[in-house]
């Protein structure tokens, strides 16, 4: 079931009523429920949704837990959790996904190398252990509550992605992200339906013993409003929401631009997350063009993955051409590196040649930025008006969620 659609904006009353009706019709009485929610890097009226869920389930379920799907992002403090979730909820346990602790996980099984080869179309032949936060399997029902956007690894976020990588072990995170990197961000972002990475995620989710439900929402980017909300299992509700996201969160240009300036909002606290300002615009930048990420509030490349400072940012072929030397690094970190550097080539004679230049105008020291193979611009000298008046530059406010594509390459 779904409420809303592309071009619509739902009222809070409509959303609350829909959530109440949807959950009233679900067989949840007397059962334990784990609610999996996003962290603070996505636009989503989470307090509204959780309040509606809490109202609908209080007195009906035997146990209610909220688990924040951090992936490998930084944990939220108690104050940050209260602000993010909209306060505290009586009778509800709230957990960060403590991905850095081995005892967080249970082992659900293994996807064989042969099956990974089939799913990936021959790009990867590696088995992968499927590990998941034990809080999910210790509840009878897992209820995903979160938004759907175009995504650089899987095509569109949401659905079973809240399990893998949201509350998953490192093994699935590394394999799924590297598979996406092999396909390339530009080749997979905004691709509807079951991409190879989505198929891998769904196969892993099939090993979860809990019943899997989802309230998949389509947010009005940068606001607390919703265009649509869908309820059902984690596949059907995601399919409905992703179809609306494809109409809502993609902007088309007729011609490429020489430069894009992505103005990054404060929800992105490091380049690991603010890199979305590149992913979402790479398809519209002309060969030899430039993307500037303006985020003076950002002071580090990756809070939880400092090794990116040594690895740096490189195109996919840079790593593939030197795979024996680099393969022992976390593949998820390598994938992030390629996603921010975009398309390019590498060979031992000519070295690395990337299609687009990437420049950081942030609070990160110049030496760190240049050592990581990125361009540097002093944010103090950044003149927004100059770029806004340049006909060859596209300035994007609140960058990071809306995908920009060329109409000639749509689909």
Q: Round to whole Å and give the CA distance between 194 and 314.
A: 27
Fill in the DSSP letter of residue 76: P
Residue 102's CB is within 10 A of a number of other CB atoms, namely 10
| pLDDT score for 323 | 96
Strands 351-354 and 344-347, sheet pairing: antiparallel
Q: Round to whole Å and give the CA distance between 161 and 147.
A: 11
| pLDDT score for 319 | 97
| pLDDT score for 40 | 81
| pLDDT score for 389 | 97
* DSSP-H helix ranges across 184-307: 185-188, 196-205, 236-248, 271-274, 276-279
Q: Round to whole Å and give the CA distance between 356 and 353.
A: 9
Q: Tens digit of pLDDT per residue, the chain (411 long)?
A: 999 999 999 999 999 999 999 999 999 999 999 999 998 877 899 999 999 999 999 999 999 999 999 888 888 899 999 999 998 898 899 999 998 999 999 999 999 999 999 999 999 999 999 999 999 999 999 999 999 999 999 999 999 999 999 999 999 999 999 999 999 999 999 998 999 999 999 999 999 999 999 999 999 988 889 999 999 999 999 999 999 999 999 999 999 999 999 999 999 999 999 999 999 999 999 999 999 999 999 999 998 899 999 999 999 999 999 999 999 999 999 999 999 999 999 999 999 999 999 999 999 999 999 999 999 999 999 999 999 999 999 999 999 999 999 997 554
- Domains of the chain and CATH, by start: 2-248 (3.40.50.11440), 251-409 (3.90.226.30)
Contact call for residues 146 and 85 (beta carbons, < 8 A): no
* 215: its two tokens: 């309230």
Residue 296's CB is within 10 A of a number of other CB atoms, namely 14
pTM equals 0.93
Q: By 3-state DSSP, what share of the chain in percent is helix, strand and coil, each rounded to 5?
A: 35, 25, 40
């Amino acid at each position: 079931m779904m409420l809303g659609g592309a071009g619509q904006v739902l009222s809070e009353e409509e959303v609350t009523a829909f959530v109440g009706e949807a959950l009233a019709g679900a067989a949840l009485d007397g059962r334990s429920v784990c609610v999996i929610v996003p962290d603070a890097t996505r636009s989503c009226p989470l307090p509204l949704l959780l309040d509606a869920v809490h109202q609908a389930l209080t007195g009906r379920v035997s146990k209610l837990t909220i688990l924040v799907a951090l992936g490998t992002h930084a944990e939220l403090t108690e104050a940050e959790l209260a602000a993010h979730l909209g306060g505290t909820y009586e009778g509800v346990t709230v957990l960060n996904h403590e991905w850095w602790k081995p005892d967080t996980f249970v082992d659900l099984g293994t996807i064989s190398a042969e099956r990974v080869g089939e799913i990936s179309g021959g790009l990867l032949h590696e088995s992968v252990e499927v590990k998941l936060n034990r809080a999910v399997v210790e509840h009878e029902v897992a209820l995903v509550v979160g938004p759907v956007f175009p995504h650089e690894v899987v095509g569109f976020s949401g659905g079973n992605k809240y399990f893998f990588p949201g509350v998953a072990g490192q093994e699935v995170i590394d394999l799924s992200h590297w598979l996406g990197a092999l396909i390339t961000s530009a080749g997979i972002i905004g691709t509807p339906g079951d991409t190879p990475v989505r198929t891998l995620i769904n196969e892993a989710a099939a090993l979860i013993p809990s019943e899997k439900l989802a309230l998949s929402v389509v947010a009005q980017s940068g606001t607390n409003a919703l265009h649509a909300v869908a309820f059902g299992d984690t596949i059907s509700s995601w399919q409905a929401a992703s179809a609306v996201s494809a109409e809502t969160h993609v902007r088309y240009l007729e011609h490429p631009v020489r430069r894009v300036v992505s103005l990054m909002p404060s929800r992105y606290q490091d380049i690991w997350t603010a890199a979305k300002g590149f992913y979402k615009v790479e398809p519209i930048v002309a060969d030899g063009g430039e993307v500037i990420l303006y985020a003076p509030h950002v002071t580090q490349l990756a809070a939880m993955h400092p090794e990116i400072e040594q690895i740096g940012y490189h195109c996919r072929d840079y790593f593939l051409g030197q795979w024996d030397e680099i393969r022992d690094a976390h593949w998820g970190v390598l994938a992030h590196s390629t996603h921010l550097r975009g398309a390019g080539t590498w060979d031992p004679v000519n070295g690395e040649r990337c299609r687009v230049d990437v420049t950081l105008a942030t609070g990160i020291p110049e030496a760190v930025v240049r050592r990581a193979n990125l361009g540097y611009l002093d944010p103090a000298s950044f003149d927004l008006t100059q770029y806004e008046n340049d006909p060859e530059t596209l300035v994007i406010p609140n960058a990071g969620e809306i995908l920009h594509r060329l109409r000639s390459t749509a689909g």
